[in-house]
Amino acid sequence: MQARISKSAALAALLALSAPMLAQAHDEALDLPTATTALSPLPKSASLDVSAVKPAKPAKAIDEDAFREKDVWGRIRSGYAIPDVNNDLVAKHVNWYATRPDYIARTTARASLYLFHVVSELEKRGMPTELALLPFIESAFNPQALSSANAAGIWQFVPGTGRDFNLKQDAFKDERRGILASTDAALTYLQRLYDMFGDWQLALAAYNWGEGSVQKAIKRNQAAGKPTDFESLAEQMPAETRNYVPKLQAVKNIVANPQQYGLNLPLIDNTPYFTAVDKTSDIDLTVAAHLAELSVDEFKALNPQFKRPVITGDEDTKILLPKENAEKYHINLAQWSKELSTWTTHKITSARESIRTLASRFHTSPEVIRQANNIPQNSVLKAGSTILVPKISTSANIDIPAQVEDNASVAYEAERSGKSAKGYKLAGKGKPEKGGVSLVKARVPRDAVKSKSHRKHND
């Protein structure tokens, strides 16, 4: 019998099963420092009894037929629309997944938080529902996944392509990781590629390899009088792209009939897992989690785009919460009497401003400042850097201005030696990646040779 992931247990299952992978997540997934003392207990209320919370009715925007299925896997199966591939590579990848039930369990536990939303968005656009399985290939549904090409999030956008599709990347957030924004961008991108090639398999190849590379391969086959379908072009592709569609086909096959391969998929309820709430002002990530009665890790699983201990942004900034926790958040927020945010920004104007002197000035420790800003040990800040510091009385109740958020960057160099360490500077608003392609950056190097081994499965 299939196991059911309930809404009250899904996050706990995700965290338990994801522990090995989360430990290797990108270093921007901070151990969040706090500038204040421990948060006080929230008031108890009978209205917050989880057992009394009834799931909200499904949104009417989606075809009612979608909700006749009891779980999301059924909706995905019923919407398969991409022609099947049947070759040795598909068999190879089916065998890989079928012999790794623990991997399937970890990935589907993570997917249980996001799949309802992804499938709903695909159905709204009239797109094949097996595209909801693409993050299985890209990231194993881990929003903290980061590739060697600096592709991030469940849809694995590289920085330049993320900017092409309006995914904000600044010192405070990286929307390539955010579930709502990245899903919208990925589906827009995939639809654009399908419109370009008129073929979903070629669109998928372009998503991985870049549309320019696929166009060139098509022209070479046309000049040689050869077919231009995916399998006919495969010999020109790098190994990662050549395996890309077969991997998706392998997952499609398993989802279509898991018992055939000796696997069980958790039954994911065909109702929304999360809902979006508005952020009315700057709020510490730890405070937001506290008000929602979630652990920080549970909160970050739904809000992975926030990179710093404080959530900033304009009125369009949303926080995702499990549906049963959203009501708790609103009730607790209305009763909250303390500051929502304990952080502000400070711009380094002189090399004389050391982290130690800043810590003394803002009544904190050097380690808190380093953790909040991802500053390595044995390094010093360069003039011009904008960093987070704890609020003092003169800056209380003032949100971080939008222009500061958009343009903030951090640069540092090795201590004593004077030689620049390999630091980072986060892109400002709309700043293009040097040497980037006008529309899309490929996920695999454009000069990759055919013999290059295919990318390892994300675990």
Q: Which residues are catalytic?
A: 138
DSSP alpha helix (H) spans, 7-130: 10-22, 72-78, 88-98, 101-111, 115-125
Q: Count CA atoms closer than 13 A to 91's CA, side-chain side.
A: 3
Query: How crowded is residue 202: how many other Cβ atoms within 10 Å of its Cβ?
Result: 24
φ and ψ at residue 264, rounded to 5 degrees: -120, 130
Q: What angle do CA 376, 377, 383 make, to 5 degrees?
A: 65
Cβ atoms of residues 377 and 412 within 8 Å: no
Give the Cα separation of 91 and 94 in Å (integer): 5
3 state DSSP class of 278: strand
What does the block give as tokens for 166? 């309006």
* CA-based R_g, the chain, Å: 23
Give the Cα separation of 442 and 137 in Å (integer): 16
Residues sharing a CB contact under 8 Å with residue 270, sequence separation 6 or more, in sequence order: 58, 66, 67, 69, 70, 71, 72, 74, 75, 116
Give the Cα separation of 321 and 328 in Å (integer): 10
β-pairing, 267-268 vs 4-5, is: parallel
3 state DSSP class of 67: helix
What does the block give as tokens for 88? 């040795």
